[in-house]
């Protein structure tokens, strides 16, 4: 699998199905600044701030050359982060699980449904079911991506971490292709690609600098 690197050509993302709009990909969007919002259906923060931020950017900058896309992924809670629940979100404004609880707590829902529509194309990340046991090479590759300086740690510490990571990876029922290609740490995550298809940002969590980065790329 090709891994994404900042400053290099953005690898094509993988989806199983476009639920709204599309299909498209980075190679079809040269000349546009592209923002991909990666979220999970069962992710309160995605709906409390990341998706509203993406909708706002879409509304204000689409006419100036910004393309916003949404990819629903699943790296946990595979019973909730499903394409069926993504369809319910798109077609009926339904939310589930922790998202439902958080939005209710913040009095955001109207008649139990999301009060706004996501206006840009939405797709489901491509999920591949794990069929084999996790091997040590896979564990060490995961650690290398997420724990810099691991090789300098004491041996007893390294073996303990290896065992923990192996148990974690073995519990994962699926590989989420786009999530793994872009080495994402969780959701929401923001993937920002310039007009030439170069990856400029791939960041997890709240991102107050996102608008500034978008406008800078639009002006470039």
Residue 122's SS3 state is: strand
- In 3D space, the residue among 140, 183, 185 whose CA is nearest the CA of residue 158 turns out to be 140
Q: Kindly report the pTM of this predicted structure.
A: 0.83
- Contact partners, residue 212, CB within 8 Å, separation at least 6: none
Token pair, residue 176, equals 């989420």
Token pair, residue 155, equals 């041996």
Tell me the pLDDT band of 171, cut-offs 50, 70 and 90. low
Separation CA 33–CA 214 (nearest Å) = 7
Separation CA 155–CA 108 (nearest Å) = 50
Does residue 145 register a pLDDT over 90?
Answer: no
Separation CA 98–CA 89 (nearest Å) = 14
CB atoms within 10 A of CB 123: 27
Q: Mean pLDDT lowest for which of 7-11, 37-41, 173-177, 192-196?
A: 173-177
Separation CA 212–CA 220 (nearest Å) = 12
The full set of domain ranges for the chain reads 15-126+184-219, 131-171
Handedness of CA 54, 55, 58, 60 (dihedral sign): negative
What is each CA distance from 179 to 4, 56, 157, 174, 202, in whole angstroms? 10, 24, 28, 11, 11
Residue 191's SS3 state is: strand
Select from 3.20.20.70, 3.40.30.10, 3.20.130.10, 2.60.120.380 the CATH code of 15-126+184-219.
3.40.30.10
* Chain segment 41-51, per-residue pLDDT in tens: 999 999 999 99
Does residue 202 register a pLDDT over 80?
Answer: yes
Radius of gyration for the chain, computed over Cα atoms and rounded to the nearest angstrom: 18
% of the chain beyond a pLDDT of 90: 72
What integer is the mean pLDDT of 71-93? 95
* Chain segment 15-73, per-residue pLDDT in tens: 999 999 989 999 999 999 999 999 999 999 999 999 999 999 999 999 999 999 999 99
For residue 29, what pLDDT is reported? 98
């Amino acid at each position: 699998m090709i891994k994404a690197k900042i400053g290099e050509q953005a690898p094509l993302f993988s989806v199983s199905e476009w639920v709204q709009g599309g299909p498209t990909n980075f190679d079809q969007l040269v000349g546009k600044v592209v923002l991909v919002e990666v979220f999970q259906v069962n992710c309160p923060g995605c709906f409390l701030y990341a998706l509203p931020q993406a909708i706002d950017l879409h509304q204000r900058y689409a006419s100036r050359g910004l393309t916003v896309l949404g990819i629903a992924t699943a790296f946990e809670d595979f019973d909730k982060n499903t394409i069926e629940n993504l369809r319910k979100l798109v077609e009926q404004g339904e939310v589930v699980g922790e998202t439902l609880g958080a939005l209710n707590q913040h009095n955001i829902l109207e008649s139990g449904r999301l009060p706004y529509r996501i206006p840009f194309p939405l797709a489901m990340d491509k999920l591949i079911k794990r069929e084999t046991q996790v091997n040590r090479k896979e564990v060490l590759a995961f650690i290398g991506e997420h724990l810099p300086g691991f090789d300098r740690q004491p041996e007893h510490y390294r073996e303990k971490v290896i065992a923990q990571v192996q148990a974690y990876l073995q519990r994962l029922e699926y590989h989420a292709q786009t999530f793994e290609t872009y080495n994402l740490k969780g959701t929401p995550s923001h993937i920002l690609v310039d007009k030439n298809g170069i990856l400029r940002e791939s960041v997890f969590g709240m991102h107050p600098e996102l608008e500034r980065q978008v406008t800078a790329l639009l002006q470039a």
